Structure 1
Amino acid sequence: MTETPPAQASRNGGLALAVICVAQLMVILDATVVNVALPSIRDDLDFSLDNLTWVVTAYSLAFGGLLLFGGRTGDLFGRRRMFMIGIGLFAGASLVGGFANSETMLIIARAAQGAGGAIAAPTALALLATTFTEPGARSRAFGVFAAMGASGGALGLLLGGVLTDYASWRWALFISAPIGALVLFLTPRVLNESQGSGKKLDLPGALTVTAGMSTLVYGLTKASSDGWGSTTTVVTLAIAAALLVAFGLIEHFSTHPLMPFRIFSNRNRTGAYLIMLFLAAAMFTTFYFMAQFQQNVHGWSPFHTGLGFLPMPVTIMFMSIVVVRRLIPTLGIRPFLTAGPILAIAAMVAMSHLDASSSYWPFLGSLLLLGVGMGCSFVPLTMTAVNGVAPHETGLASALLNTGQQVGGAIGLAAFGTVFAHASADRATELGARAATAAGQADVFVTGQQHAFQAAIVAAALALIASIALIRVNKVAPPAAAAPATAPVMAE
């Protein structure tokens, strides 16, 4: 395989970074931009409570399920080409979603958005990794990129709140169309194409892993409404397990696997993927429940809810760009990947104690804890994931990191949503007729939320365990841009 030489990868480094980061921000932002608009969407399209979660989950699931496919297409057919295809699909689906007039139309549009994001996000990170190889420029680029990815979710809540309050929830989707068009206009002017390997795409593997992950999250979601012992839940989870096992077998025997298992031979990269998986489960839970907490319990408007989350992305960006990026060359990776999960645990504990009488300040404190934790984690995770990867596999390495984030978020939302549903139902039974009053409904929601965050503590703790047990690398180096296709995945 022949790669574009690093020095020629971009015709304008600053504008190239802006294009890549805006695309990343747009894709991540849309994972949560509708969260704060969910009550308005429910009223406007007459959504059932069971299906409302799918407005969020359909996006995350399609994104996570197709990321391996999307990342590999960039490696095989050219990263710039696939990046533009992904952005085009994403922007088009956003426009369709904005015009949705039914549950089905909106959910399908959100899934199509996720599919576009699944192609654009890993190719964006792969383009970044092979474009910026000079240490100083690389450090700055990764700091900005990680900050966009980590803060995009919280910024989505703010943007969704502003648009929902002052225009309509539909503009939370419409807004991506002109942004996508601008990215498509600039991309061929600031980024050169990489030459694809032309190898055969592992379509059976892509279909199997996507079906397996989709069925898994569907089974977890049904568990929240039907119970873990229901036939639907048991059957769907069993089918998911069978599909994922089949995926493993397909990859083992494939001559051109979608996911070569050697990518996991390096413990540091595997640790980065697991940490991202567990932290995303906790973070997506925060966005989903806390946005509804402020509206349903405290009566905040969508705009004020989004504004209340603003300190979190500001903190993430400050930590990522100003603090962590500058300290990594001195302190290394490991201290930050230990501190991040610890702070996430503290944030989940704080959120599990919020109730109907809590003021904004405990809420703010928990957001700041999580923001500092995410700011400590995302830059070193991004750098570790592509550290030393041969150029022809940067798309795959990038895709796996994004897969951890999106699938972790989808599974976390489904699993902790199940905890929320059961705890809420039990509390409603205890309250009896009082559960129908405004105060009773707030009590029911708070009880469910507290149990969900108690469960999320476990996810953050697993991230800490993965960091301590697996992360050994302390300094990272640029990818071997000129390495041959037979080069090892990572040099220790």
Structure 2
Amino acid sequence: MNAFSAAADGSVRPVRDRRPWALALLSLLQFLIAVDVTVVNVALPSIGAQFRSDVADLSWVVTGYTLVGGGLLLLGGRLTDLLGRRRMFLLGAALFGLASLAAGLAPDLPTLVAARLAQGAGEALASPAAMSLIALLFPGPEERAKALGVWGAISAAGLVVGVVLSGAIVQLLHWRWIFGVNVPIVALVLVLTPGLVRRDGSGARERRRLDPAGAALLTCGPLALAYGLLRHSAAAAVAGLVLLGVFVLVESRTRHPLVPLSFFAHRVRAVANAATVPLSAALSATFFLLTLYLQDVLGFTPLQAGLAYLPFCAALMLAISQVSRLIGAIGVRRTSVLGLVLTAAGLAWLARLPDHGGLWADVLPGMLGVAGGMGIGLVALQNAALADVTEEDAGTASGVQRCVDQLGGSLGLAVLVGAALGGGAVRVAEFRTAFAWAAAALVATAAAVALTARDTRQRG
């Protein structure tokens, strides 16, 4: 029996006995996608040494992946609704796998960057498809919260595992294997998916045109803005803002937008997506800045720096495992606020990092606070961002949520890291400033969510 069965009206119905396997498969690819967000960080010096590239050029190996992925996620969500969830999941997985192979075999840095851009495009197709499949596979509020908690836990674990895995692979094997390990796992996903996830019914989808202009603007705008922030180029930053403004204008006037602006009239979704931006930015900046602090200030080796994130991972998993219970007890709004406040508290602790500190007293308490807050806050906001989705807009809602997560993390990282590394050198005082800004932004976000969001409780 398949995970999905087709009803007489052409819609897709879940079959319970295979759903855990389908969830595991969908989460496996998302794990790889999350791993590839962070796996390159520790490997960058080795890549730069082989290709004789400077830090400025190498930065696009990291930011190109997340910005292209985030910029195209809305298009991916739209394609998911129009062309079918399983079809787009398989297409995105195949593109991600082929791009991983190309990255592992890249003869020079431009080829590697191009492969990373293609990986981001694969994510943009596969991730909203997987998220919308989960939303429809688990239609009940409580079971959806649990399923998204599993999906979010595996995705978040991938971010941490990427750091640990990168150090181990670079030290024991070669940096090319950080991409090569993706290939056999993606092949397994491609082989097993048709047996676990049945194709969508064709009768429920309305054929409408796409919005390539909107997708191009939403990709190029953040790329230009991030370049301007990281390189302190006012012209590039202004160009990015102009492109984003044109995107809003185009979306308000086109007959077939990537996402109708009326979509944001749903208050719970709008607040959840807006609150995701500073939370994702804080997570991205924490990974980047703490990795630099551990290696360049505390003198950790790449492998030691990766292993230092294991307590973070454990705290994150524990927090995520409790989200569905918290939502059932105190509602989505209060759970979201709790996550935001805990994250802000962890960042406030990191804002006092000494110039010559230690892992246990100076880094770990703040790291655990951020981990617990992220685990609670991101999953609660993710759950709220899918409130009241239907067969017609599940992919769009998933694409919007993933888009704000990716772009918020990338652009927030550019803002905070651009400030922290203004002179190109590692200065702990500027790290403290970046963490303090991130904490203040989350306190303001928590207050806004508490005052504006409608509260709900999950019922089984």
Judge same fold: TM > 0.5, yes or no: yes
Tell me whether 1:221 sits opposite 2:230 in the alignment.
Answer: yes
Alignment-derived partner of residue 451 in structure 1: 433
Is the 1:216–1:240 contact (alpha carbons within 8 Å) kept by the matching residues of 2? yes
Tell me whether 1:374 sits opposite 2:381 in the alignment.
Answer: no
Alignment-derived partner of residue 30 in structure 1: 36
The one-letter amino acid paired with 1:7 is P
CA deviations over 1:150-198 (Å, ceiling 9, x no partner): 3321221112122122112221111111111111111111011223432
Alignment-derived partner of residue 415 in structure 1: 415
Tell me whether 1:43 sits opposite 2:49 in the alignment.
Answer: yes
Q: Kindly tell me: are residues 470 and 37 of structure 1, through their superposed partners in 2, closer, same or farther at Cα, counting changes over 3 Å?
A: farther
Q: State the alpha-carbon separation in 1 of the partners of residues 441 and 110 from structure 2.
A: 32
Q: Kindly tell me: are residues 15 and 377 of structure 1, through their superposed partners in 2, closer, same or farther at Cα, counting changes over 3 Å?
A: same
CA deviations over 1:347-385 (Å, ceiling 9, x no partner): 112222223421111211111101110111122112111
**1:51-90 alignment, distance < 5 Å:** 51-90=57-96
CA deviations over 1:442-479 (Å, ceiling 9, x no partner): xx43233223223322332343233223321322579x
Deviation at 1:46, TM superposition (A): 2.1
Alignment-derived partner of residue 405 in structure 2: 405
The one-letter amino acid paired with 2:312 is M
Q: State the alpha-carbon separation in 1 of the partners of residues 459 and 404 from structure 2.
A: 22
**Structure 1 stretches of 5 or more lacking a match?**
224-232, 426-440, 479-492
The one-letter amino acid paired with 1:193 is R
Q: State the alpha-carbon separation in 2 of the partners of residues 357 and 253 from structure 1.
A: 55
Secondary structure (helix, strand or coil) at the match of 1:39 reads helix
Is the 1:75–1:396 contact (alpha carbons within 8 Å) kept by the matching residues of 2? yes
Match of 2:213 among 193, 204, 219: 204
Tell me whether 1:468 sits opposite 2:450 in the alignment.
Answer: yes
Q: State the alpha-carbon separation in 2 of the partners of residues 3 and 272 from structure 1.
A: 31
Is the 1:152–1:313 contact (alpha carbons within 8 Å) kept by the matching residues of 2? no
Secondary structure (helix, strand or coil) at the match of 1:17 reads helix
Alignment-derived partner of residue 352 in structure 1: 351
CA deviations over 1:53-112 (Å, ceiling 9, x no partner): 222111110111111011110001001101111111111111111122322122211111
The one-letter amino acid paired with 1:393 is D
Deviation at 1:264, TM superposition (A): 0.5
Q: Kindly tell me: are residues 173 and 179 of structure 1, through their superposed partners in 2, closer, same or farther at Cα, counting changes over 3 Å?
A: same
CA deviations over 1:31-57 (Å, ceiling 9, x no partner): 111112222223232221222222211
Alignment-derived partner of residue 7 in structure 1: 14
Q: Kindly tell me: are residues 44 and 458 of structure 1, through their superposed partners in 2, closer, same or farther at Cα, counting changes over 3 Å?
A: farther
Secondary structure (helix, strand or coil) at the match of 2:379 reads helix
CA deviations over 1:240-264 (Å, ceiling 9, x no partner): 2332222222222222211101111
Deviation at 1:129, TM superposition (A): 0.2
Secondary structure (helix, strand or coil) at the match of 2:392 reads helix
Secondary structure (helix, strand or coil) at the match of 1:152 reads helix
Deviation at 1:137, TM superposition (A): 3.6
How many equivalent pairs are there? 449
| Structure 1 vs Structure 2 CA RMSD | 2.1
**1:11-22 alignment, distance < 5 Å:** 12-22=18-28
**1:88-487 alignment, distance < 5 Å:** 88-135=94-141, 137-194=143-200, 195=202, 196-223=205-232, 233-321=233-321, 323-361=322-360, 362-422=362-422, 424=423, 444-476=426-458
TM score, norm. by length of structure 2: 0.92
Is the 1:4–1:192 contact (alpha carbons within 8 Å) kept by the matching residues of 2? no
Secondary structure (helix, strand or coil) at the match of 2:42 reads helix
Deviation at 1:3, TM superposition (A): 5.6
Which range is displaced more, 209-218 or 410-419?
A: 209-218
Q: State the alpha-carbon separation in 2 of the partners of residues 43 and 466 from structure 1.
A: 46
The one-letter amino acid paired with 1:452 is A
Deviation at 1:11, TM superposition (A): 7.1
Q: State the alpha-carbon separation in 2 of the partners of residues 216 and 87 from structure 1.
A: 28
Deviation at 1:297, TM superposition (A): 2.0
Is the 1:59–1:113 contact (alpha carbons within 8 Å) kept by the matching residues of 2? yes
Q: State the alpha-carbon separation in 2 of the partners of residues 278 and 181 from structure 1.
A: 35
Q: Percent identity?
A: 35
Q: State the alpha-carbon separation in 2 of the partners of residues 124 and 477 from structure 1.
A: 24
Is the 2:334–2:450 contact (alpha carbons within 8 Å) kept by the matching residues of 1? no
Secondary structure (helix, strand or coil) at the match of 2:14 reads helix
Deviation at 1:387, TM superposition (A): 1.1
Q: State the alpha-carbon separation in 2 of the partners of residues 3 and 37 from structure 1.
A: 48
Q: Kindly tell me: are residues 157 and 463 of structure 1, through their superposed partners in 2, closer, same or farther at Cα, counting changes over 3 Å?
A: farther
Q: State the alpha-carbon separation in 2 of the partners of residues 465 and 3 from structure 1.
A: 44
**Structure 2 stretches of 5 or more lacking a match?**
1-8
Secondary structure (helix, strand or coil) at the match of 1:320 reads helix
Q: Kindly tell me: are residues 380 and 458 of structure 1, through their superposed partners in 2, closer, same or farther at Cα, counting changes over 3 Å?
A: same
Is the 2:51–2:109 contact (alpha carbons within 8 Å) kept by the matching residues of 1? yes
The one-letter amino acid paired with 2:107 is N
Q: State the alpha-carbon separation in 2 of the partners of residues 369 and 475 from structure 1.
A: 25
Q: State the alpha-carbon separation in 2 of the partners of residues 76 and 112 from structure 1.
A: 22
Q: State the alpha-carbon separation in 2 of the partners of residues 3 and 473 from structure 1.
A: 34
Q: Kindly tell me: are residues 37 and 209 of structure 1, through their superposed partners in 2, closer, same or farther at Cα, counting changes over 3 Å?
A: same
CA deviations over 1:185-239 (Å, ceiling 9, x no partner): 111110112234322112222122222222222222221xxxxxxxxx2322232
Q: Kindly tell me: are residues 318 and 82 of structure 1, through their superposed partners in 2, closer, same or farther at Cα, counting changes over 3 Å?
A: same
Is the 2:88–2:125 contact (alpha carbons within 8 Å) kept by the matching residues of 1? yes
Which range is displaced more, 294-303 or 122-131?
A: 294-303
Q: Kindly tell me: are residues 455 and 106 of structure 1, through their superposed partners in 2, closer, same or farther at Cα, counting changes over 3 Å?
A: farther
Deviation at 1:6, TM superposition (A): 2.4
Is the 1:90–1:116 contact (alpha carbons within 8 Å) kept by the matching residues of 2? yes
Is the 1:319–1:375 contact (alpha carbons within 8 Å) kept by the matching residues of 2? yes
Q: State the alpha-carbon separation in 1 of the partners of residues 448 and 59 from structure 2.
A: 29
